């Protein structure tokens, strides 16, 4: 199971990019700068959290418009 989620600096969930089972391997995911309701979010710092059964990784990303 793979979960890839985007969070604001306040910790609020912005967008779920992946939430499904994936086989081992390399994958790409793109975020179009929209939240769950389809509205564009403002430029700024966001965090993505990638979690699987074996690990969780959180990294900072910057959205520029």
Q: How far apart are CA 20 and CA 2, in angstroms?
A: 6
Average of pLDDT values for 7-18? 98
**Which three-class secondary structure state does DSSP give residue 51?**
strand
| 58 touches 47 (CB < 8 A) | yes
The whole-model pTM stands at: 0.91
Range 23-45 average pLDDT: 96
Residue 17 near residue 4, CB atoms below 8 Å: yes
pLDDT in the model for residue 1:
94
| pLDDT (0 to 100) of residue 36 | 97
pLDDT tens column, 35-61:
999 999 999 999 999 999 999 999 999
Q: Which residue has the tokens 């793979």?
A: 2
Across the chain, what does the average pLDDT equal? 96
């Amino acid at each position: 199971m793979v979960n890839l989620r985007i969070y604001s600096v306040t910790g609020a969930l912005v967008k779920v990019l992946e939430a499904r089972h994936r086989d081992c391997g390399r994958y790409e995911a793109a975020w179009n700068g929209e939240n769950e309701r389809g509205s564009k979010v403002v430029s700024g710092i966001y965090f993505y959290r990638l979690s699987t059964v074996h690990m969780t990784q959180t990294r900072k990303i910057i959205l520029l418009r």
